Structure 1
Amino acid sequence: MALQWMILTYVVAAEAALALLLTLPSPKAVKTRLVSLISLILQPSMFILPFTGFQLLGFPLPLLLFSSTVPLPVIYNCIPSSFPDLYWKKEHRLMCTGEICTAAERDRSEKSIYKAQRNVILCASACLLYWCIYRLCKYYKEIQSMEEVEKRYKDQ
């Protein structure tokens, strides 16, 4: 489970770097090659959208791929999802009154809530950054085609 979130963290960092590269001013030739390269990368990297959706909604995607060999109770009980997990932890938080819970238990509970919140933010930012990169590339290509049309009209 931690490996999935670590991979998602790296993907979000890479998407942020790509978005930064697209928005930095650069010469037209460099920008054109950069946009074409990123556009080629976008299609195979679209796997991140269903991955984050399945992680948020609670469907363990890696186990769903092997659902013919793994029994269903194992699939649904193996990996907790983010939204339901976050809701359950918030609603069933330890209420520390008197000597009912120790500081270690309270810290562990707060740490798990923070991890669940981090996971939700990671999934949302992965989808948002992918969409931003896609739109930036599309806008740049539209601007390029409009410039070509304008150049043709000027030549006529």
Structure 2
Amino acid sequence: MALQWMILTYMVAVEAAIAVLLTLPLPKLVKDRLVSLVSLILQPCLFVVPFAGFQLLDIYWKNEHRLMCTSKICTASERERYDKSIYKAQRNVILCAASILLYWSVYRICKYHKEIQNLEEDEKKSKEQ
């Protein structure tokens, strides 16, 4: 189970780095090359969306079937373990949401950049005519 969260953590880190690179003010040629490279990588990396969705469903199912430790019978260590599991689940939900949100934002940044390129090409064509 820890491997899944490690993979998702690395994907979030990579997506965040890509988002930062795409939003940096770079020369036009470098930016065009970077956007085309990221666009090629986006489609194979789409697996992160269903993967994160599955992880969210898994968290929800575990939350619904988790044993509650709210009575006076619970020991301090049991309460601590219960609280730790709740905090872990909350952290993992944030991680899943971040991965989906970052993927979407990188996709939209690339799409906007391509639209701007197409508009610039259309403007050049109209000026030439």
Q: TM-score range by the shorter chain?
A: over 0.9
> What SS is found at the alignment partner of 1:26?
coil
Aligned residue pairs total 129
* Larger RCO (CA under 8 A, 6+ residues apart): 2
The question of 1:24 aligning with 2:24 is answered yes
* Matched ranges for 1:1-156 at <5 A: 1-57=1-57, 81-89=58-66, 92-97=67-72, 100-156=73-129
Matched position secondary structure for 1:101 = coil
State the TM-score, normalizing by the size of structure 2.
0.92
Q: Distance in 2 between matches of 1:119 and 1:41?
A: 25
- Once the two structures are superposed, what CA deviation does each residue of 1:120-144 show, in whole Å capped at 9, x if it has no partner? 1111111111111001000000000
Task: Report the CA distance between 1:93 and its aligned residue.
Answer: 3.0
Whether the aligned pair in 2 keeps the contact of 1:83 and 1:120 (CA below 8 Å) is no
Structure 2: any 5+ residue segments left out of the alignment? none
Q: What is the CA-CA distance between 1:104 and the residue it aligns to?
A: 1.6
> Which ranges of 4 or more aligned residues in structure 1 deviate by more than 2 Å?
86-89, 100-103
Unaligned runs of 5+ in 1: 58-80
Rounded Cα–Cα distance in structure 2 between residues aligned with 1:101 and 1:25 = 56
CA distance in 2, matches of 1:87, 1:122: 20
User: Is the Cα–Cα contact under 8 Å of residues 12 and 126 in structure 1 kept in the other structure?
Assistant: yes
**What is the percentage of aligned positions where both structures have the same residue?**
65
Q: How far apart, in 1, do the equivalents of 2:50 and 2:74 lie?
A: 39
More helix as a share of residues: 2
Q: Which amino acid aligns with 2:93?
A: V
Q: CA deviation at 1:86?
A: 2.7
| Conserved? CA contact 1:16–1:129, under 8 Å | yes
Q: Considering only aligned residues, what root-mean-square deviation do their CA atoms show, in Å? A: 1.4
Contact 1:86 1:117 in 2 (8 A): no
